């Protein structure tokens, strides 16, 4: 790739991030996904000094007024370590309506990247491509999301077999609690369930299931040649047959329902998005439901 092409890709990624961020801010009014409590930095109240307190937090004004040493505490801020697991294997190159699945995946990353950006927050990624699994170390969110988008934008799904989603999840660290956002069409082997369950026991895991209308229903266009981008196999499908189209749609619905059940069974949150969806509306519904569920759990003391 030439330097000029790199700059063009970087500019396109930055523009996407800014456009998505503006839409999210206008629609969701500053929603933040933070779950991690950090040391914070906002002044709170003074309390009596105790052995082991940091003397740098000594409140000299209170000491002078009361004659007793006090330290100034701080209000904890949320710090969030977000790891994106992004599927860019060949099947993500499909797109028959508004956009490719890959393009929707990048939009999702931009939206969650913006929502997960705050003081002390960090973003990293594990990317699944036809050439293998690539890990991008976490970095401060001021630059992390645009940089990640520029990296993802340069990856072409291409053709040929690639590693599975399970292999990508194996590359996600477990140690520090944080947010994991998995963006995939979930079309590969279902070798990810145990690892996802393990991650969900420690992290807040959100799975964004990306799909395209052609995966849900066949158009009635006569003889249609379809090609599997991962295996390279082609098949002529007589789409004029109503019974065949109905059987295809039924099988597609069953496949998606099974994937949703498997994801939820791991303890992860599930967000289905199609390339024909209004992604912002669906994301808003998803976040609203999360807020209601968490509020109910707090009331119940869980």
Rounded distance between C-alpha atoms, residue 36 and residue 25, angstroms: 22
Question: Do 56 and 30 contact (CB within 8 A), yes or no?
Answer: no
Instruction: Return the ∠ at Cα 188 (arms to 80 and 100), rounded to 5°.
Output: 75
Please give the residue that has the higher pLDDT: either 240 or 42: 240
For the chain, what is the mean pLDDT?
A: 83
pLDDT at 38: 41
206: number of Cβ within 10 Å: 22
Instruction: Enumerate the H helices of the chain as residue ranges.
Output: 3-28, 60-66, 101-115, 141-153, 165-170, 193-200, 242-265, 279-300
DSSP 121: -
pLDDT mean over 177-190? 93
- Lowest-confidence range among 20-24, 204-208, 250-254, 263-267? 20-24
* Tens of pLDDT, residues 1-29: 444 444 456 788 888 888 998 888 877 76
32: pLDDT confidence band, cut at 50, 70 and 90?
low
pLDDT of amino acid 159: 79
| Cα–Cα distance for residue pair 153/87, rounded to 1 Å | 12
Residues β-bridged to residue 206: 181, 269
Whether residue 192 has pLDDT greater than 90: yes
- For the chain, which residues make up each domain, given as ranges? 13-28+78-212+270-300
* 92 three-class SS: helix
Task: Give the pLDDT confidence of 126-170 residue by residue, as tens digits.
Answer: 999 988 999 998 888 778 888 999 999 999 887 777 789 999 999
Q: Which residue in 118, 87, 135, 106 sits closest to 13, CA to CA?
A: 106
As a whole number of Å, the end-to-end CA separation of the chain is: 52
Would you say residue 196 has pLDDT above 80? yes
**What's the confidence (pLDDT) of residue 45?**
63
Specify the CATH number for 13-28+78-212+270-300; select among 3.40.50.410, 1.10.3720.10, 3.40.50.300, 3.40.50.720: 3.40.50.410
DSSP conformation letters of 133-184? EEEEEEEEHHHHHHHHHHHHHT----SS----HHHHHHTS--SS--EEEEEE
- Report helix, strand or coil for 29: coil
- Name the residue among 204, 198, 217, 197 with its Cα closest to residue 262: 197
What percent of the chain is modeled with pLDDT above 70? 83
pLDDT of residue 211: 94
User: Percent of the chain scored above 90 by pLDDT?
Assistant: 41
Quote the pLDDT of residue 259. 96
Residue 112 to residues 41, 107, 281: CA-CA distances in angstroms? 25, 9, 14
Query: Contact at 8 Å (CB) between 215 and 93?
Result: no
Backbone angles phi, psi at 89, to 5 degrees: -75, 170
pLDDT value at position 111?
93
What's the CA gap between 157 and 13, in Å, rounded? 17
User: pLDDT tens, 103-134?
Assistant: 999 999 999 998 888 777 889 999 999 889 99
Order of all β-strands in the sheet with 81-87: 132-140, 122-129, 81-87, 179-184, 204-211, 269-274
pLDDT tens digits for 44-82?
567 787 776 777 778 888 888 888 888 776 544 457 889
- pLDDT at residue 253 above 80? yes
**Residue 201 scores a pLDDT above 90:** yes
pLDDT at 8: 54
The helix (run of H) or strand (run of E) holding residue 240 is none
């Amino acid at each position: 790739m030439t330097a000029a092409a790199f700059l063009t890709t970087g500019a396109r990624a930055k523009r996407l991030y800014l456009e998505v961020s503006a839409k999210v801010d206008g629609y969701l009014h500053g929603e933040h996904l933070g779950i991690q409590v950090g040391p914070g930095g906002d002044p709170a109240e003074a309390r009596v000094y105790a052995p082991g307190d940091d003397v740098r937090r000594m409140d000299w004004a209170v000491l002078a007024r009361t004659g007793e040493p006090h330290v100034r505490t701080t209000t904890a801020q949320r710090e969030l370590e977000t790891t994106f697991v992004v599927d860019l294997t060949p099947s993500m190159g499909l797109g028959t309506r508004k956009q490719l699945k890959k393009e929707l995946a990048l939009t999702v990353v931009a939206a969650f990247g913006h929502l997960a950006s705050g003081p002390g927050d960090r973003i990293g990624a594990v990317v699944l491509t036809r050439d293998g699994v690539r890990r991008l170390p976490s970095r401060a969110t001021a630059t992390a999301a645009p940089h990640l988008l520029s990296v993802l934008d340069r990856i072409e799904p291409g053709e040929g077999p690639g590693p599975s989603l399970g292999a990508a999840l194996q590359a996600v660290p477990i140690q520090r609690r944080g947010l994991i956002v998995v963006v995939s069409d979930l079309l590969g082997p279902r070798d990810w369930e145990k690892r996802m369950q393990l991650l969900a026991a420690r992290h807040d895991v959100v799975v964004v299931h990306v799909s395209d209308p052609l995966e849900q229903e066949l158009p009635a266009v006569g003889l249609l040649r379809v090609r599997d981008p991962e295996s390279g196999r082609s098949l002529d499908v007589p789409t004029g047959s109503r019974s065949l189209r109905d059987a295809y749609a039924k099988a597609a619905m069953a496949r998606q329902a099974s994937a949703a059940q498997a994801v939820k069974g791991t303890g992860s949150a599930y967000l289905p998005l199609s390339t024909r969806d209004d992604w912002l509306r669906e994301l808003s519904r998803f976040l609203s439901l999360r807020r209601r569920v968490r509020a109910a759990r707090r009331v119940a003391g869980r």
